[in-house]
Amino acid sequence: MMSYLSQIRWSPYAVGAGIGILSWFTFLFLKKPIGCSTAFARTSGMIGKIFSPKAIDEKQYFKEFPPAIDWEIMFVIGIIIGAFISAYISGDFKIMMVPKLWAREFGDSFGLRITITIIGGIFLGFGARLAGGCTSGHGISGAMQMAVSSWVSAIFFFVGGGITAYLMFSL
């Protein structure tokens, strides 16, 4: 078992089965679907409360999704910790400011890399909240429940990712 855990790349079938089992347990014990984007929205609300608590309290969005630490935030923290542990165990952990693929295509400017990363993250965050969920919420939990909106979202995640990859790395 330990030799499997120390592999750099895992079987997508094993990972898919693991995510499916995790989803079962999440529904069974928490009565909630897996999702991450709400955690980021709640975190932004907690940060906003530091600077303007009244403004955050008055926003309808934060009345529906109160800015508080909940299981989704802990899930995101677990993803980060799990990724670190996996990279460490596999021997693939390394700190790099600009990944090799990015450097080959766009140069080794850390400023450009971080700027594009932040802009992309902002767009993804807004898009996920406008869609009512992210790749985890729609692509895993919603699709597992056979929600049509989630299947449409998941299809467009792949289409959008393919178009973006083509535009970024083929032109």
Model confidence pLDDT, tens digit, residues 111-120: 999 999 999 8
**Low pLDDT (below 50) residues in the chain:** none
The reported pLDDT for the residue numbered 1 is 62
CA distances from 1 to 7, 81, 89, 93 (A): 10, 20, 12, 20
Q: pLDDT tens, 84-120?
A: 999 999 988 888 899 888 898 889 999 999 999 999 8
* Helix ranges (DSSP H) in 28-142: 37-51, 53-58, 60-64, 71-90, 100-106, 110-130
Distance (Å) of CA 96 to CA 31, 93, 102, 113: 39, 10, 11, 12
Where in the chain are the domains?
A: 1-95
CA–CA gap between residue 28 and residue 23 (Å, rounded): 8
pLDDT at 2: 66
CA distance 36 to 19: 14
